[in-house]
Structure 1
């Protein structure tokens, strides 16, 4: 079976993207590890990483600096094998990637039962720091700050919330309760709290994403046959890199609380279509780039096969 040649339309698009929006080396390496390496065992030789990142015009010095920073931040750990270094995901890095994957590659719940989760942090000097840290971390989980000591979300991940409270050491400080509207008591509904989330800003980011990736999605089509393996890997990585920057800021509110023309739905559909189209060729490129003589790329994880229903 012949390998497709690089499509000139896709080549022009990737060159323009990298020229106009050059990704930061460390951030892009996080995307590459999360999207491509973590599902295949979570480890790569440094020399192979350097070659792989050259696909995006990231030089050797930037790659070495990036892996050093990620090791300092406990995302990666280095293993020495003679003169060679092999970088693997740490346990905490793997957990962080797993949490991000749930939001990037999978749509939110299709239905909502009207139930809310409220997190209350009481006043007091002893919990001032806890309150600040918790607001920040819950913000990344999609919670909105209603008042300085009250945060809310209509579709909270309770398992993640429990983990987060434990990680911050505030499980004994916070009150976590469920809430629903009480019919007939007031004319206002909890759904009006949607105004506490920056939905306009998130919608604008989704529309920008659609404008940027629409042309390459049309060029690729539904089967990715026009992509060379290198182009497939380039496009898939840039797609995930750009999409995650938006979706990780999306509070993932229930459909009932979103406008009918919410662009997040279209952005997910575009991402799903492109990802599925280019993944077979991208995986071939990845195996060639990360393995040497006698090496075999580990089979993809079950989680990978569930991404955008790739299978």
Structure 2
């Protein structure tokens, strides 16, 4: 991807974003990016953040004021963030529901590549959600993918390892237990798992994404590559780093032989992410603080 390439993907406002694609594995959407910003810069640090500050911060990634405000409104309607008044100012905080989802996500992200799941144990989920329950089906699919499940056919999902505890919590959270059946067991040693795994996961595409991630962020793996970064640059690099890395749990089944690209990407993430933390938080706080006279 070149530095001048643009995304034509439609944003939450229904208009092409024109957001520069350099540094992104997928065109970023403002709602998703808000959650990343709050998870990495507000959670465990601040009670809430000024809405105007979030708009400024999204602007750092090419989103217009209109697209940013629409994203905040829609996240609030989905009960992913809550709106609070701080004097004359409007602020947002994470809801309990979003805190739980982020905690679950962080667990997957920080274990990725460091917890090899045995293919000798598998989890199979089958559901009977009606075709017209599009929202429920989409939410289930997204959450299952984040747990490392792959789809072998409509309504049938598989994962390496025993995922029963996570799935039980997920199904209860979505209130769809009456539509779901779950099995865990051992695959037959008389047959290979290759065809099943290839159907459920795009391993070649996954490797290509890891290689793109390495090409984009390897310059910051050594201290000399981070030394000259301003606070703003560190904030943008770190945000792109973690936002991109959050995609891998959706795509990676966690095979023991994950390949060199995964191993190197995981190691790179665990070096760069903490190294840029202080600078990134400093820049976030600067832009998230209301100007004098706005208070």
So what's the TM-score if we normalise by structure 2?
Answer: 0.75
CA distance in 2, matches of 1:202, 1:267: 12
**1:68-124 Cα deviation digits (max 9, x unpaired):** 1211222111112342101111112222222222233332453444211122347xx
Matched residue, 1:234:
236
Matched, 1:195 2:192: no
Matched residue, 1:268:
266
CA distance in 2, matches of 1:230, 1:66: 22
CA distance in 1, matches of 2:69, 2:270: 32
Matched residue, 2:256:
255
Q: Secondary structure at the match of 1:97?
A: helix
Matched residue, 1:63:
68
Q: Which has the higher contact order (CA 8 A, sep 6+)?
A: 1
Matched, 1:213 2:217: yes
CA distance in 1, matches of 2:218, 2:131: 46
Matched, 1:33 2:38: yes
Q: Residues 145, 50 of structure 1: CA spacing in aligned structure 2 closer, same or farther, 3 A cutoff?
A: closer
CA distance in 2, matches of 1:281, 1:16: 27
Structure with greater helix percent: 1
CA distance in 2, matches of 1:221, 1:254: 34
Are the aligned partners of 1:144 and 1:153 in contact in 2 as well (CA < 8 Å)? yes
Comparing 53-62 with 98-107, which one deviates more in the overlay?
A: 53-62
Q: Residues 120, 20 of structure 1: CA spacing in aligned structure 2 closer, same or farther, 3 A cutoff?
A: closer
1:191 Cα deviation after fit: 5.9
CA distance in 1, matches of 2:32, 2:207: 23
**1:137-177 Cα deviation digits (max 9, x unpaired):** 53443222334454221135433201222234332443322
Which aligned pairs between 1:172-187 and structure 2 lie closer than 5 A?
Answer: 172-183=178-189, 186=190
Comparing 207-216 with 17-26, which one deviates more in the overlay?
A: 17-26
Tell me the matched-pair count. 269
Which aligned pairs between 1:144-159 and structure 2 lie closer than 5 A?
Answer: 144-148=150-154, 150-159=156-165
Q: Secondary structure at the match of 1:159?
A: helix
Matched, 1:53 2:58: yes
Structural RMSD (CA): 3.3
So what's the TM-score if we normalise by structure 1?
Answer: 0.72
Comparing 156-165 with 266-275, which one deviates more in the overlay?
A: 156-165
Matched residue, 2:81:
76
Matched, 1:204 2:208: yes
Matched residue, 2:278:
280
Q: Secondary structure at the match of 2:157?
A: strand
Q: 2:100 aligns with which of 95, 99, 108?
A: 95
Q: Secondary structure at the match of 2:250?
A: coil
Unmatched runs of 5 consecutive residues or more in structure 2: 7-18
Q: Secondary structure at the match of 2:115?
A: coil
